[in-house]
Structure 1
Amino acid sequence: MIQLISATVERWTVAGAFVISRGAKTHVDVVVCTVGDGVFVGRGEGTAIYYEGESAESCVAAIQAYNGPLERTALLTTMPRGAARNALDCALWDLEAKRQGAPVWQLAGLEPPVPLPTAFTISLGNPVEMEEAARVAAAKGFALLKCKLTGTGDRERIAAVRAGAPDARLIVDANESWHDLDIAAEAQALAELGVEMVEQPVLHGQEERLAGVCAPVPLCADESCHTRADLDRLGDFEAVNIKLDKAGGLTEALALAHDARERGFRIMVGCMLGTSLGIAPAALLARGADWIDLDGALLLAQDRPGALMMADGLLAPGTLWGMGKPPGQ
């Protein structure tokens, strides 16, 4: 019989500071969930969706209060979406892999993991700071940079990033800050600097603001897209950003990716700040995505043992989650 062993909060320090239009973070609190059957143990990690009112502590409380079946498909109807369900769902996947003696990618019917090119986030700053950050990231081998914007002075910021990384592909995340701007004009100006996608220009819940907007690059729903239930109102976006914490686990994220592709959406796979324990499940989903943004653990001062490995801008599988039966068992 599967039982919850623990749900705890862990604090991890950010390398420097992670800055977006809503503020700066110097650390991230994650919730770690552990389940077991008396023989095998599975773990999962989630990072609270703060703009939804979640906290790591509320996620722990939700996991501890859950009294439904500890079974992945049952979670979809018995537990609300969010980081708590993500941590529990991923712990159950990890446990199942060990019980079956097979990796999660195989159990889920996915292609085996391979090194994948991930974006590296350029935090919000003044143009000089962002230019230098872009230069450093490009020198480390990152060929795709994701730039955080704020709705004011964005053209100057991207011009500076382009100067710092003239050969890099660029995508930008407005974090809802373009809601009152001429979105098509802003996107056109950035497209001329080589930006190939704009993430979440408008406030979530007010997607109708995009009706009739003819942008020269794809607009991608992030805060506006959590689960399959959101797809019906996202017709003015060309792409959706799938994050396991928003979807409430790998199980829903896989279904969301399938349905989104069926409807013609392009796919971005992203993440919150967190360790490789939380990023590893998303990396399985990322193969074949149009944009991959899984640098959440790379932005930390340190990561867990067995972490996903990074070389020349490519994220390679680690060994701390979803690998199957432990050696010798």
Structure 2
Amino acid sequence: MREITFAQAITEALDEEMARDPSVFIMGEDVGVYGGILGQLAGLFDKYGPDRVRDTPISETAIVGAAVGAAATGMRPVPEIMFCDFLGVPMDEILNQLTKMRYMFGGKAKLPIVIRTLIGAGIGAAAQHSQCLEALFMHIPGIKVVIPSTPYDAKGLLKSAIRDDSPVIYFEHKLLIVMPLKGEVPEEEYTIPLGKADIKREGKDVTVVATALMVHRALAAAAKLQEKGVSIEVIDPRTLVPLDKQTIIDSVKKTGRLVIMTEECKTGSSAAEIAAIVAEEAFDSLDAPIKRVNAPDTPVPFSPVLEKFYMPDEENLIKAVTEIV
């Protein structure tokens, strides 16, 4: 099977959905002529033109507000907010308009919007361009949260998100794009259902739930732990809303131990929510305390040395696992 990059997977998903459905269009800063800040939209402007790949002013409020109006009147916009750190600017449009309209109109209004945005540290972009804010949007009813870790997942999940009639926020980790991460992706069309986790590695001693870049660090740690006789099962939720609780719980019932690894600040993270779910629904299956491996509760440092220390790595995960086996 061919291998493509994470960015190419995003481009292909958008290209296929725009070809399939003329109501799909892209809008945002530098999405057109520039081809996306990290090249995820390369070639789409030349193929579909400025009406369907629309460069906008630097106004996140206008981008999301216009997308809400377009979706409410029959279009399927895919607005890009360059960095998730900027989602605070259009928060009223997200919190009080986008996520509430279907509920307030009794389900009669469709809001098929996919907000694409970048997350994560690791490229020296400092405190205002490096955050992971997944949990913030998990807390808002009415929006689905997608967070892929591989090119295969990135393409299949984005296609499903675009076809969904509810709002979706789609997080792309910067390092997965700039590394660049490559992976096998079939040439034939496929989609991945939202709300279905993927077991990236099977194991019997400890369940590790990880997201985005942390999936790859978890897999690297699992390989090292296997050499020490510890078998790790790595689960990638792929979507945080809806969350595939059952796959996680079934794994914990098998292993008796759980570690959650995400790049978010620890307090109030998606890791905290997953830990709470397992504590509520599978407590009797636990043979050890649940552990979390997260970034500290600080802004992301600009210093490369401090930024490296800030990001959870495989050694942090190995330490957490070693404490409970």
Same fold (TM over 0.5): no
Provide TM-score, normalisation by structure 2.
0.27
Larger RCO: Structure 1 or Structure 2 (Cα < 8 Å, ≥ 6 residues apart)?
1
Q: Which has the higher helix share?
A: 2
